[in-house]
Structure 1
Amino acid sequence: MSKIRDRLEDMGLANRFDPFAPESSDLTVHTSRLPSNAVEYCQSWFKIGTWDFRMGHVISFGLACIFLLLAAVWMYPSPVEGRAVMGEIATIFTESLGPGMMSVFMVGAFAATFSTAFNYFDGWPRIVGACCRNLFRGTAELSGLDLDELTDAHRKTFYSEYNIYRVTMIYSLITSVAIIAGFDRPVFLVLVASALAAFVAPVIFFLNLYYCLLVIPREDKAFYPSNFARLFGWFSLIVFTVLTLILIYWTIWVPNFAA
């Protein structure tokens, strides 16, 4: 529905959301007010996204089980740490399927790391620009990243969303190179970032669930979470939070504060 949100606002079918005077009710879109073709469009994309989400989880679960089983057979026990872990992981392929699979592993590893880096260098600046657009009126007045819609003001004003996007991308490049060149163990920062992401994840999970229940009208049966989805969501949040607290206890509290 986000793809047609601007058009719905222009047509008066959805309230225009103002980030400087936010109202949660302005985020709500009543599908009963939409044309039938718009409802069909939204529901079709929702079904596609739902099935993609489900299939992705099933496939990911299957692949994770395969990797865990192969690791248990070919790697455990292993004292290897740090960068040498990648070479150890590669033995899963070479030992179980033959040395020729090393090339397949390298292609897959490159694709995974390249796509991650590519998404980071493009996605992170977009997020920073969008946050500034919602925080500062000057940036909101000069919003947009589409080259066809940029004006001289967008290009020359340092606080425009476009320039914030570019500066953040350059900053990311410089800091990444500095970290790789200046740190003896840059993988340590990856572990720190992963830990921070794990700690913040329950909060993001809660906000997603909360705003789904807050913004989507209850009478909208196609989009409002079902009873099972709500119960499973709250149960997952509890499990997620408990596991995160256990992780914090054993990785931070016990090593640093336990006598």
Structure 2
Amino acid sequence: MEREIAELAQAPAGEAALKFGPPAAALKAEIAADRERDRVLRQKLAVFERNYKKEIDGLYQKLGEAKEELDELYEEKNEAHKAFNDAKSSVEYWYRMSNCYLGNRGKEIPKSRIFGLSQNDLDHYKSEKSSAAKTIARVREEIEVTKDDKVRYFTEITALKALRQRMFDLKTEGATASGLKSAISENGSSLSKREARLGAIEEERAAFLGQLRMALGIPEREHDVQRIKTARQAFIQSFESGASVAKRKEQHRREWHARHSA
């Protein structure tokens, strides 16, 4: 029955598509064009709404600050390298003197100063060397971050200048912010009307299709199919219920006893 209903429903569906399909398709194409026009107009308007001087000046200030920061970081890095090398030389000198005067090959000597040497001196030099190494590593990371900032600022400045030139070009073409806003409003009104008309066509199509299906008795047939499915499902659920299973077992037991006691 379901296959018959599906075949029967093809004719009204085809007739409705033939009657309402072309105007609906034309409206959908016009709606798509309106939406694209809205996107382009808003994109142009956004070009007029930027404060290019303020944004570009702000980026140039950040770029200058980044350059100054880089100079300071490079200076700090040089000083850290000098401190590292000085501490390294002091450690090496301490070991040379230790071997020369005490012959202990760098083994720990008393904390007190002997021949101008002390273990505290060595610990101090090593601490300075370690501190300088950490400073070098930190400054290197900060330099890379600041370099990336410089590149980003420069890229943003270039993009803003290109966008500003786009604004000049649009003005040359006769575009203005007020004109674009007016065009967006008019296009939006046109879009709303077309969307409303498309909605009306869809409602007309649904009503028309409903009438054709009603004339062929399709809703009644679908109702009958659903009623049969519901009854079948209810029967299956009842058949598989615990009470039904117990009842069948009891009936089977009685029949078995009746057959074997005869």
TM range (shorter): under 0.3
TM-score, scaled relative to structure 2: 0.20
Say which structure, 1 or 2, has more relative contact order (CA 8 Å, 6+ apart): 2
**Structure ID, larger Rg:** 2
TM-score, scaled relative to structure 1: 0.20
